[in-house]
Amino acid sequence: MIKFHVRKYQDLSLDEGHDIFALRSEIFVLEQNCVYQDIDGKDKNAIHIIGKSENEIVAYARIFVRGESNSDFTSIGRVLVKKKSRGKSLGHQLMAFCIKFLETNNPMCSIKISAQTHLEKFYYKHGFRKQGESYLEDDIPHIEMLKEVS
């Protein structure tokens, strides 16, 4: 069973910070064969959503409330599920948790994401709709998606 934890940057333990950055590197740099600067200076202003199973991080996302990353929207990014934990709907549980957190803490504010295009249907199931044309971000096709205020 997965349990979600909400942490501001300064509240992350050293082990959590290490494990988050190692997992992001494992997935976004090594697994996706994409050399890019993951540690981008935004983590200090993010809220980190950590999904743990038996004290191991198996799912993660970082979110930004309105005003931190964009003045008009909240956002969710760096969404991941550890490879060995995929196929158990943890990604859907993670997104539902993030959306609920943002809707509770930033009511009446739409959520914007930059999604890898192959995950468009996944995010569509959570109420996100494609905005504009696809574009390359770090040589990976992405699409901007928006979940309007409900």
State which fold the 3-147 domain adopts: Aminopeptidase (3.40.630)
Q: pLDDT for 101-131, tens place per residue?
A: 999 998 889 999 999 999 999 999 999 999 9
Hey, what amino acid is at 103?
E
Measure the CA–CA gap between 99 and 50, rounded to whole angstroms: 14
Which letter, b or e, does each residue of 1-37 get, where b requires 16 or more Cβ atoms within 10 Å of its Cβ? ebebeebeeeebeeebeebbeebbeebbeeeeeeeee
Predicted confidence (pLDDT) per residue in 126-142, tens digit: 999 999 999 999 889 99
DSSP-assigned letter for residue 101? H
Report in angstroms the alpha-carbon separations of 109 from 13, 45, 103.
Answer: 30, 18, 7
- 53-92 confidence digits (pLDDT tens): 999 999 999 999 876 666 678 999 999 999 999 999 999 9
Domain boundaries, the chain: 3-147
